[in-house]
């Protein structure tokens, strides 16, 4: 079982909200981790969006719009990236990441399509 | 402006070696930890290695441990990745990243093939 699991794809309409999940493997408690989020468009390197551990420990990437926000669902043991007011330019792959056992671990990635 | 520029990629035969470089500018390089992250064609992101700001702490992914060596020269604002005993599965774009990957370079392609 992967350390971080993300749905492979998600589709949503322009203007809608999209909630991307990053589920931590059983036995790894989401509450203890900073979750980092990245956006990657075809042919370009990933770009840092934000990190989220709690409402008092969070950071928005430089120049990243506030419609990108982070949260957690403790009951699902998951980190969440919420994209509000989806735009066509948000169509991309999204990855989560944590620091776990002396290594950075990336999620499997979610491809977001804006219909 | 933070800039990270990778170089040194190319085509190498299985079992061969390659050294990647990352030139950093726009920030106090010696104050930040750095990483190498790779992405195989059509695949997701894989963290490769970490080096602390003063080189005292180094970590590797299990997939490269014993074959790759990370290092840095803070006087020259450079980071390196020495890759030995290369395998076909090491074929990827290799990115240099700062800290928890808040900044990324454009990447350099390493192709391992005969």
Residues B21-37: tens digit of each pLDDT: 999 999 999 999 999 99
Q: Do B44 and A61 touch (CB under 8 A)?
A: no
B47 contact A CB<8A: yes
What is residue A3's three-state secondary structure?
Answer: coil
CA-nearest of B45, B19, B43, B23 to B34 is B23
The confidence score (pLDDT) of residue B106 equals 98
* Mean predicted lDDT score pLDDT of chain A: 97
The per-residue pLDDT for B55 is 97
Mutate to test the interface with A, among B2, B34, B58, B100 (most CBs of A within 10 A): B100
For B1-25, the pLDDT digits (tens) are 999 999 999 999 999 999 999 999 9
pLDDT for res A99: 97
Partner A contacted by B75 (CB < 8 A): no
Q: What is the pLDDT of residue A27?
A: 93
Q: How confident is the model at residue A91 (pLDDT cuts 50, 70, 90)?
A: very high
* Share above pLDDT 70 across residues of chain A, in percent, rounded to a whole number: 100
Q: What residue in A sits closest to B38 (Cα-Cα)?
A: A45
What is the rounded distance in angstroms from the CA atom of residue A66 to the CA atom of residue B59?
34
Cβ-based contacts of B35 with chain A (< 8 Å):
104
Mean pLDDT of A2-26: 97
Which chain A positions have a beta carbon within 8 Å of B95's beta carbon? 45-46
Bridge-based pairing of strands B78-83 and A92-99 is: unpaired
Tell which residue, B44, B47, B26, B27, has the closest CA to residue B36.
B47
Per-residue confidence (pLDDT) for residue A6, from 0 to 100: 98
pLDDT of residue B38: 98
Residues of A in contact with B45 (CB under 8 A): 38, 40, 46, 95, 97, 106, 109
Rounded to 5°, angle at Cα A97 from B10 and A68: 110
């Amino acid at each position: 079982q992967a350390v971080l699991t993300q749905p492979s794809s998600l589709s949503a309409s322009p203007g809608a909200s999209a909630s991307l999940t990053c589920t931590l493997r059983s036995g790894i408690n989401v509450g203890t981790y900073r979750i980092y989020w990245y956006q990657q468009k075809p042919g370009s390197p990933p770009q840092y969006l934000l990190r989220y551990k709690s409402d008092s420990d969070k950071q928005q990437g430089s120049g990243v719009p506030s419609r990108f926000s982070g949260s957690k669902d403790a009951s699902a043991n998951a980190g969440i990236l919420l994209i509000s007011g989806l735009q066509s330019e948000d169509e991309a792959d999204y990855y989560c990441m944590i620091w776990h056992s002396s290594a950075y671990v990336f999620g499997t990635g979610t491809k977001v399509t804006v219909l | 402006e933070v800039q990270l520029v990778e170089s040194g990629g190319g085509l190498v035969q299985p079992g061969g070696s390659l050294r990647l470089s990352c030139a950093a500018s726009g920030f106090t390089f010696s104050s930040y930890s750095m990483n190498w992250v790779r992405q195989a064609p059509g695949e997701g992101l894989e963290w490769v290695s970490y080096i602390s700001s003063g080189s005292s702490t180094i970590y590797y992914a299990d997939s490269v441990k014993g074959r790759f060596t990370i290092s840095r020269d803070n006087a020259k604002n450079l980071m390196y990745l020495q890759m030995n005993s290369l395998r076909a599965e090491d074929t990827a774009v290799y990115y240099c990243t700062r800290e928890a990957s808040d900044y990324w370079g454009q990447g350099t392609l390493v192709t391992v093939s005969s």
